[in-house]
């Protein structure tokens, strides 16, 4: 077990390059098994969630060959099992994308039922509704969801809630159904568009991804492709908030600025300078920022995956801010940890009322989940003194080379074993 230790107070400065989007890559990897030809995927982030999904795929007979750290060759022609164990689902919920991918290709799939998780209960009724509408029988027994179909037939599906996962899963299955499907009230996140573009590059016929109506003409067969994953909007947003929180000046490269608009708008509103270039953004946070209200919403609204980072930034800004979480019910668990660093935040239901303080001070805190973990590192880099963040396995699920990238823009951060008191003391005594 490892932890991060960092000394805060140093403005982050320089350039950082964003990796491929984890959440897009998870969808693309699952979709890649839908052809028997080779698929080459580039710009995959080298993070734990991706490695676990690749393992789950290998377990059912998918051939996975790493060409380099960020490029894999996938071949799904030797799949000999339709069943994904709980072992994988427990580690990574998105293994459930194999439900839609296998159902589309083989008209059968069995995946262990995902449980709740650290950010709240997460039903999958919309995924099931979509598969059933396409003609599949869906049964839940002994902790597994089993789908089977004689044939899948295109249909009109109205999603009751806007769900990224259900949109991707149902879109994959519908891609290989007979006839036309329409998914209404679809999610519009950039990774939905990426999965649709990827499937189209394999011979699918999907139109409208990125709007709330997706139209799919089913095809019988998909073919191989080479494809590069889009940049990670949330990793970029995290570095943007970090630049602002440390009063730094950071150029964040390899991004699609359009995907960052909700974040850029909030940062600008509270007084940071955000400059947009073709494939980069520069964030300058030279002074203490102001307050605002933020409500998380499906894309193009403010992303729930950026909620802990913006709330942490607002905890150090001047004035009172209100952050409302409207997607997941349990996403304020990091607030107690931030309070231990001196933040003044009161949570009432799905709303956090933040009374900005002048500064935070370093203590030992625990990452409760992936994005909140990154937010605590951000707090540590802005705080006075030394901060330790443990349970960094969460952070490693989704941020590639996190501490290396941070060191590259001037952060004083190290990864050390959790129980290595001597390493902690050495870091504390280090002359800066
Ligand atoms: C994806 C992202 C996650 C992000 C979230 C919202 C991946 C791998 N994960 O998660 O990082 O935080 O989108 O942007 O891409 N819901 C239902 N029934 C369903 C499905 C969802 O009620 O069948 C509800 C959920 O409880 C939640 C809301 O819909 O309140 C949105 O969830 P969803 O968009 O499905 O999130 P995920 O795809 O799980």
167 Cβ below 6 A of ligand 1 = no
From the CA of 361, how far away is ligand 1's center (Å)?
A: 34
Enumerate the CATH 3.65.10.10 domain ranges in the chain, comma separated: 2-19+231-429, 22-228
Query: For ligand 1, atom 5, which residue shows the shortest CA distance?
Result: 164
Among the atoms of ligand 1, which is closest to the Cα of residue 328? 30
| 165 C-beta closer than 6 A to ligand 1 | yes
CB 34 within 8 A of CB 222: yes
- Residue 165 Cα to ligand 1 middle (Å): 6
Q: Is the CB of 307 under 6 A from ligand 1?
A: no
CA distance 121 to 197: 30
Q: CB neighbours of 337 closer than 8 A, spacing ≥ 6?
A: 365, 366, 368, 372, 376
Q: Which residues of the chain have pLDDT under 50?
A: none
pLDDT recorded at residue 244: 98
- In ligand 1, which atom is closest to the CA atom of 128? 23
Least Cα distance to 248 among 281, 284, 274 occurs for 284
Where do we find the tokens 């997607």? 327
Distances (CA, A) of 345 to 64, 89, 296, 333, 359: 46, 33, 17, 11, 14
C-alpha of residue 161 to centroid of ligand 1, in Å: 9
Helices (H), 319-369: 335-340
CB 94 less than 6 A from any atom of ligand 1: yes
Please state the separation of Cα 161 from the chain's center in Å.
19
Cα three-residue angle 308-395-273, rounded to 5 degrees: 45
pLDDT for 264 equals 98
Q: Is 126 in the pocket of ligand 1 (CB under 6 A)?
A: yes
For ligand 1, whether the C-beta of 169 sits within 6 Å is no
Helix (H, G, I), strand (E, B) or coil at 150: coil
59-70 in b/e form (b: 16+ CB < 10 A) is ebebebeeeeeb
Tell me how far the alpha carbon of residue 26 lies from the centroid of ligand 1, in angstroms.
14
Structure-block tokens of residue 221 = 């067969």
The answer to whether the CB of 14 falls within 8 A of the CB of 399 is: no
Nearest CA to ligand 1 atom 9: 23
In angstroms, the CA 124 to CA 137 distance is 15
- Ligand 1 atom with least separation from CA of 129: 23
Strand boundaries in 343-419, DSSP class E = 344-348, 351-355, 364-366, 386-390, 412-417
pLDDT of residue 141: 83
Fold classification of 22-228 (topology level)? UDP-n-acetylglucosamine1-carboxyvinyl-transferase; Chain (3.65.10)
CB of 116 closer than 6 A to ligand 1?
A: no
Q: Which of 1, 3, 2, 11 is nearest to 406 (CA)?
A: 11
Q: Which of 65, 77, 117, 340 is catalytic?
A: 117
Residue nearest to atom 32 of ligand 1 (CA): 163
Distance 304 CA to ligand 1 centre (A): 10
How far away, in angstroms, is 275 Cα from ligand 1 center? 31
307 CA distance to ligand 1 centroid (A)? 14
* Fold of domain 2-19+231-429: UDP-n-acetylglucosamine1-carboxyvinyl-transferase; Chain (3.65.10)
Mutate to test the pocket of ligand 1, among 47, 91, 122, 195 (most ligand atoms within 8 A of CB): 122
The DSSP code for 252 is: E
- Residues near 113 by beta carbon (within 8 Å), at least 6 away in sequence: 89, 124, 140, 143, 144, 145
Q: Say what the pLDDT of residue 92 is.
A: 85
Verify whether residue 241 is a known catalytic residue: no
Task: Determine which residue's CA is closest to atom 22 belonging to ligand 1.
Answer: 123
pLDDT of residue 115: 60
């Amino acid at each position: 077990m490892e932890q991060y230790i960092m000394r805060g107070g140093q403005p982050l400065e320089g350039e950082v390059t964003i990796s491929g989007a984890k959440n897009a890559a998870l969808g693309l990897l699952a979709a890649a098994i839908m052809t028997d030809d080779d698929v080459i995927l580039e710009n995959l982030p080298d993070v734990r969630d991706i490695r676990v999904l690749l393992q789950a795929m290998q377990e059912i007979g998918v051939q996975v060959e790493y060409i380099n750290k960020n490029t894999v060759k996938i071949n799904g022609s030797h799949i000999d099992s339709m069943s994904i164990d709980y072992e994988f689902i427990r580690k990574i919920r998105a293994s459930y994308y194999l439900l839609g991918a296998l159902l589309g290709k083989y008209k059968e799939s069995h995946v262990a039922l995902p449980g709740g998780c650290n950010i709240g209960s997460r039903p999958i009724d919309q995924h099931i509704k979509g598969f059933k509408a396409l003609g599949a029988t869906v049964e839940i027994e002994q902790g597994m969801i089993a789908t089977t179909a004689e044939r899948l037939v295109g249909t009109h599906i109205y999603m009751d809630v806007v769900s990224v996962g259900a949109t991707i899963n149902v879109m994959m299955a519908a891609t290989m159904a007979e006839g036309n499907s329409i998914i209404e009230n679809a999610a519009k996140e950039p990774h939905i568009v990426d999965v649709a573009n990827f499937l189209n590059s394999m011979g699918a016929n999907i139109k409208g991804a990125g709007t709330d109506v997706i139209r799919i003409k089913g095809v019988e067969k998909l073919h191989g492709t080479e494809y590069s994953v889009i940049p990670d909007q949330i990793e970029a947003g995290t570095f943007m908030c970090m630049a602002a929180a440390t009063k730094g000046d950071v150029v964040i490269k390899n991004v699609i600025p359009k995907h960052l608009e909700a974040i850029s708008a909030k940062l600008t509103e509270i007084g940071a300078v955000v400059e947009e270039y073709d494939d980069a953004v520069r964030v300058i946070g030279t002074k203490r920022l102001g307050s605002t209200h933020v409500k998380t919403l499906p894309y193009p609204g403010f992303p729930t995956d950026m909620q802990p980072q913006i709330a942490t930034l607002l905890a150090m800004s001047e004035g009172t801010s209100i952050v409302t979480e409207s997607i997941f019910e349990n996403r304020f668990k990091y607030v107690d940890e931030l309070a231990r660093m001196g933040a003044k935040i009161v949570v009432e239901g799905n709303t956090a009322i933040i009374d900005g303080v002048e500064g935070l001070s370093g203590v030992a805190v625990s990452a409760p989940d992936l994005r909140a973990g990154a937010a605590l590192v951000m707090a540590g880099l802005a705080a006075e003194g030394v901060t330790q963040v443990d349970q960094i396995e969460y952070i490693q699920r989704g941020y590639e080379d996190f501490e290396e990238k941070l060191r590259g823009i001037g952060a004083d951060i190290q990864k050390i074993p959790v129980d290595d008191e001597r390493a902690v003391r050495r870091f504390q005594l280090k002359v800066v």
